[in-house]
Structure 1
């Protein structure tokens, strides 16, 4: 490096300035330098950041266009459904009568008599014959009234034509109904995807406006508190304040990071920031990164206990469970019982849970998500496979819980020391093409306990049809226990019940949740 100095005497001044700068740099605490770095990044973004902002704006415009297109497509399907639901100009029966006249009677010498002079009588005859075809599936020449038998020279041909036309009519009705149902499904799915894209647009818009400054500051604060995180995301919704998602390496489940993180973010945001689950909700031991979601101003939290065991004490259990932290203060608790036992059943139930959880986390409604899982179960294998779905959606702001059961046994709610049974009659996912998703809603208060389990536990307590009463008594006796202990105890009691009967216990899984 060459330094050009106009006067030799300037060297002393230059060295003095450099020394003073070095002295100031080394004696300023690193915390203030980091703050200065963040401040400079915020006020003087580099070229790369400007380019990234431009790309984000372009993507935001593209998302808006996609959302508009999907909404228009959904609207088109709605218009088609409304149009086809209007009364048709030519009733279906009239079309059938015209087809009979054209196919059988048009070239008959008696056509003017039957279809012109005696039109109303012929009309009544055909109406009665089509009614008989609807009742018995077919008509024969013997079913014709005497007046028509004596006059018509094409009885056999007429009977065959009426039977065939009615079968075709019923088949067309069936496919018209299926087409309308398919259009409704597509309309709902398009609207659901449009809503998801709208959420992505809102999230991206917030990031563009914020420029990532808050995420960077939170990451720096957590690092200083010895809570390293890989990524920080702030998501802003209109209904509630900003939610924070933290991605970090999986710890030893002592949730110390959660308590310290809550305190730190509460101080930064000026509002209580808490997780939805009191205990660590991360159940995937094989994964290296966990996600912690913190919500502003939650009214409730859930303490959850989980337990499961395979058939006959086997370590591989065909029943699976999972927990999910969703947007706007909602959490999902899901159980699934795969067909059969062992490894294959475990794969089936795990696939159902993974797919359902991912759909819910993308923002899809619970009804649409469950229907999508059912369709997946029907398509993913040529052999007969099915799995139950037991879903609980809890709103931690309002205390409302939605129960959705697809082939699952009853759940129990302990409310004010009274036990109520939540049940629904429906087949498991993967059995029928179309399933009716119905939810049961309840309002929870602090101290309420929710219990859901698979049929292995339910069958263990079966005593002459008194399963509900036996389980109610058990739940009342153990309601004082923490949820993890209560779940383990119920599994143990169920195994003991099976042993007393001399049988072999089926796969068992149980989930106990307490609102705090």
Structure 2
């Protein structure tokens, strides 16, 4: 029996409980959806709000809320205007007949003025507050004149005050009414919308004035509940603001409730400060505020009813579902829920963007495949078909009218076809005149042998032109395919970079801030964007330092110890005034740095050289050095070489691979002009993390690496850029070391020495003889030696660029951060 009971209370019971919970959840969501549909879509919420605003009375005689509310609903949700009108009239009916007549007449006058102005095409949204003011004033004057027969000065003042309040409330309701009618909207309110919503809630609470339940004021209970809710959600600032606004509007409705403003404001402030204690802390703030302000306001005799009202408000607050509180919090700027919602939205945008970029990458890859040689394969059948078409054109001109046509093509088809095919090949290779056997055999076989050969030679001209065009199209297609594939790879890498989850470094920021302040360094703020090894990116602000170098000497060395890698100051913006802050950007130091020296001279000592050079920071831990030599001299050569480097710079900085970048530049140069203007390119791309280098030489002279007394040559054979559209780029890989000198030069330097047969040996010897290791001095000495061999004459444009590879040694050693635990940073 016990075993049966255990079995019944086991998995079966758990399944039943799970099904029951699912059923309850479904029913709950269904009921919630029906309530939302009833209040928002059907307009029940507008009816409730309109009813309470219709009976809201301030200063014992003014009802300025009804007409602004109806006008706002009429402009924003015209389909619900009838419900709003009925609600405000019903609410005013609970006050008196005069108020009901005034409300009805003010709405009628508003509609009449609205219809009149609509014919004149006036911007009615901007004019709405003025329309409400005029309609309210006219209706009030009419009611007072009919009921009293005269209008006193007091009546005139109250008419002005009521109309002015209606004008202001219209501006407020125009921003807050849409919040009551839209089911789905953006996730955050503006600050103005939050304030307007608070004023609307306080105005609605005014409509409950005079309602008592067990001697407790409904308006007091609800106002304290609203203050508790906003203080718990948004903290002390919003809580105290809600208390002040709500208390002020309630005190206007009933002057004896003036102390409520102090109670609500103080309770909102105290509850917001105690929100870390969850709902209990906020509730304690209201209790303390009620006790203090209650005793001060009405004495000990009234403290018990006031305390009861606060207790009921707290009970309502404790019974408020967490889901409702979370929804309110998501819409209030500055709350953690709002921040999390914004982060979720940003992640969604990031994922969508990455997905789109990835899709574009796939599209470009597919386009590359379609343009590649695999997209249009050329097999043997296509070649045979082209030969058949060629021979058919020849036979149409020669064999159609021949009397031996039947004998040649019907009886000896294969023999005739092979002969003509061999003759075609001989004419194509210019070897037919040497193939006497073929010509003799063909003379015996064909009675029009000479005519057929002439026809083949004539037709071959068109055939060769056609083949050349097809080859160019194939080469262009291949070039486009490579470029599209390069773009696809860049976009794919970009998509992966976007999809990388942004890490939350706030804990590490706090720890770094504490460590620096414990050392005695005052810090404004710290923002960490990346702590990836070799790619650290940190921004911080410090008080005005008067150029003392505090960041370079103290902060960067301490961060080097904390992050266990060398950190340097990347940029520093010092404040222009003593009370301001200096903003500093710090990042990882590269393992190697480059020092460059350049010697440059134009032909004949002119001002414009056909040579151009550039040092390019690629932004991915790589550095490029390039020399381009335009064909000839003067402005046109300078323009070509400079344009080559500018194009290369832009394409390389986009992230495209070096070989694809060079081919892209070459295709642009070859297609841009039909003039025979060419450019050479000498490119070295050096990785600053491991000092590895790639050399790409397009028609350029050799480069040299000096390591101690050893001189090594870097050379590759490629035609200058712009000559042909398709060429293979030869890449030379070399491993550089600290202390190496990389010497790159144009042909004016390499071939400049006079009476020298072996330029390579002469250049190696001169480089080896140079004692200095300063790049600029080496460049100047090489230039001077070449010019000296020419007796001081500069026969060609000359450029030499010398780059020295050095270890990156920081000026300041790491400073131990004793107040920081490195185990935490590892966990992060």
* TM-score normalised by L of structure 2: 0.47
1:272 aligned to 2:562?
no
Number of aligned residue pairs: 459
- Unaligned 5+ segments in structure 1 are 21-39, 247-254, 277-291
Q: After superposition, where does 1:434-473 map in structure 2 within 5 Å?
A: 434-473=726-765
Equivalent pair of 2:505/2:528 in contact (CA under 8 Å): no
Residue aligning to 2:649: 357
Residue aligning to 1:510: 800
1: CA distance between counterparts of 2:622 and 2:660? Answer: 17
2: CA distance between counterparts of 1:367 and 1:79? Answer: 19
Return closer, same or farther for 1:267/1:102 CA change in 2, 3 Å cut-off.
farther
How far does residue 456 in structure 1 lie from its aligned partner after superposition? 2.6
Residue aligning to 1:280: none
Report the 3-state secondary structure (helix = DSSP H, G, I; strand = E; otherwise coil) of the residue aligned with 1:433. coil
How far does residue 450 in structure 1 lie from its aligned partner after superposition? 0.8
Pick from 395, 403, 406 the counterpart of residue 687 of structure 2: 395
Equivalent pair of 2:354/2:495 in contact (CA under 8 Å): yes
2: CA distance between counterparts of 1:12 and 1:197? Answer: 55
How far does residue 472 in structure 1 lie from its aligned partner after superposition? 1.9
How far does residue 392 in structure 1 lie from its aligned partner after superposition? 0.6
Equivalent pair of 1:293/1:325 in contact (CA under 8 Å): no
2: CA distance between counterparts of 1:376 and 1:256? Answer: 50
1:209 aligned to 2:462?
no
1: CA distance between counterparts of 2:528 and 2:784? Answer: 41
Return closer, same or farther for 1:510/1:263 CA change in 2, 3 Å cut-off.
farther
Equivalent pair of 2:556/2:586 in contact (CA under 8 Å): no
Q: After superposition, where does 1:470-509 map in structure 2 within 5 Å?
A: 470-478=762-770, 480-498=772-790, 501-504=791-794, 506-509=796-799
Pick from 259, 264, 267 the counterpart of residue 6 of structure 1: 259
Residue aligning to 1:282: none
How far does residue 351 in structure 1 lie from its aligned partner after superposition? 1.8
Report the 3-state secondary structure (helix = DSSP H, G, I; strand = E; otherwise coil) of the residue aligned with 1:465. coil
Equivalent pair of 1:316/1:343 in contact (CA under 8 Å): yes
How far does residue 74 in structure 1 lie from its aligned partner after superposition? 1.8
1: CA distance between counterparts of 2:641 and 2:552? Answer: 29
Quote the RMSD (CA, aligned, Å): 4.8
How far does residue 186 in structure 1 lie from its aligned partner after superposition? 1.6
Deviations 1:467-487, CA, capped at 9 Å, x for gaps: 323322332233542223322
Equivalent pair of 1:104/1:157 in contact (CA under 8 Å): yes
2: CA distance between counterparts of 1:317 and 1:42? Answer: 62
2: CA distance between counterparts of 1:235 and 1:177? Answer: 52
Residue aligning to 1:180: 474
1:45 aligned to 2:298?
no
How far does residue 195 in structure 1 lie from its aligned partner after superposition? 0.8
1: CA distance between counterparts of 2:765 and 2:335? Answer: 62
Return closer, same or farther for 1:471/1:53 CA change in 2, 3 Å cut-off.
same
How far does residue 422 in structure 1 lie from its aligned partner after superposition? 1.9
Residue aligning to 1:424: 716
Return closer, same or farther for 1:210/1:382 CA change in 2, 3 Å cut-off.
farther
Residue aligning to 1:288: none
Return closer, same or farther for 1:502/1:117 CA change in 2, 3 Å cut-off.
same
1:66 aligned to 2:66?
no
Return closer, same or farther for 1:77/1:435 CA change in 2, 3 Å cut-off.
closer
Return closer, same or farther for 1:72/1:95 CA change in 2, 3 Å cut-off.
same
Deviations 1:178-197, CA, capped at 9 Å, x for gaps: 22222211211111000111
Pick from 155, 159, 171 the counterpart of residue 453 of structure 2: 159
Return closer, same or farther for 1:455/1:131 CA change in 2, 3 Å cut-off.
closer
Residue aligning to 2:8: none
Equivalent pair of 1:415/1:449 in contact (CA under 8 Å): yes
1:331 aligned to 2:584?
no
Equivalent pair of 2:537/2:586 in contact (CA under 8 Å): yes
Residue aligning to 1:125: 419
2: CA distance between counterparts of 1:43 and 1:479? Answer: 68
Return closer, same or farther for 1:267/1:70 CA change in 2, 3 Å cut-off.
farther
Equivalent pair of 2:565/2:588 in contact (CA under 8 Å): no
Return closer, same or farther for 1:511/1:65 CA change in 2, 3 Å cut-off.
same
Report the 3-state secondary structure (helix = DSSP H, G, I; strand = E; otherwise coil) of the residue aligned with 1:301. strand
2: CA distance between counterparts of 1:200 and 1:125? Answer: 59
Return closer, same or farther for 1:198/1:273 CA change in 2, 3 Å cut-off.
farther
- Unaligned 5+ segments in structure 2 are 1-243, 249-257, 274-333, 540-548, 571-584, 807-828
1: CA distance between counterparts of 2:429 and 2:371? Answer: 35
How far does residue 63 in structure 1 lie from its aligned partner after superposition? 0.7
1: CA distance between counterparts of 2:408 and 2:653? Answer: 67
Q: After superposition, where does 1:27-38 map in structure 2 within 5 Å?
A: none
Residue aligning to 2:640: 348
Residue aligning to 2:707: 415
Task: Give the structure with the larger helix fraction.
Answer: 2
Equivalent pair of 1:378/1:430 in contact (CA under 8 Å): yes
Report the 3-state secondary structure (helix = DSSP H, G, I; strand = E; otherwise coil) of the residue aligned with 1:388. strand
1: CA distance between counterparts of 2:431 and 2:400? Answer: 25
* TM-score normalised by L of structure 1: 0.72
Report the 3-state secondary structure (helix = DSSP H, G, I; strand = E; otherwise coil) of the residue aligned with 1:45. helix
Return closer, same or farther for 1:258/1:270 CA change in 2, 3 Å cut-off.
same
Return closer, same or farther for 1:369/1:132 CA change in 2, 3 Å cut-off.
same
Deviations 1:60-92, CA, capped at 9 Å, x for gaps: 222111011111222233474463256648465
Report the 3-state secondary structure (helix = DSSP H, G, I; strand = E; otherwise coil) of the residue aligned with 1:447. coil
How far does residue 345 in structure 1 lie from its aligned partner after superposition? 3.7
1: CA distance between counterparts of 2:506 and 2:404? Answer: 90
Report the 3-state secondary structure (helix = DSSP H, G, I; strand = E; otherwise coil) of the residue aligned with 2:801. strand
Equivalent pair of 2:369/2:481 in contact (CA under 8 Å): yes
2: CA distance between counterparts of 1:146 and 1:191? Answer: 54
How far does residue 411 in structure 1 lie from its aligned partner after superposition? 0.9
Task: Give the structure with the larger strand fraction.
Answer: 1
How far does residue 420 in structure 1 lie from its aligned partner after superposition? 1.8
1: CA distance between counterparts of 2:528 and 2:675? Answer: 43
1:374 aligned to 2:658?
no
Return closer, same or farther for 1:491/1:354 CA change in 2, 3 Å cut-off.
same
Equivalent pair of 2:601/2:797 in contact (CA under 8 Å): yes
Moved more, 432-441 or 449-458: 432-441
How far does residue 159 in structure 1 lie from its aligned partner after superposition? 2.9
Return closer, same or farther for 1:402/1:125 CA change in 2, 3 Å cut-off.
same
Return closer, same or farther for 1:150/1:241 CA change in 2, 3 Å cut-off.
same
Kindly name which structure, 1 or 2, has the bigger radius of gyration based on alpha carbons: 2
Report the 3-state secondary structure (helix = DSSP H, G, I; strand = E; otherwise coil) of the residue aligned with 1:162. helix
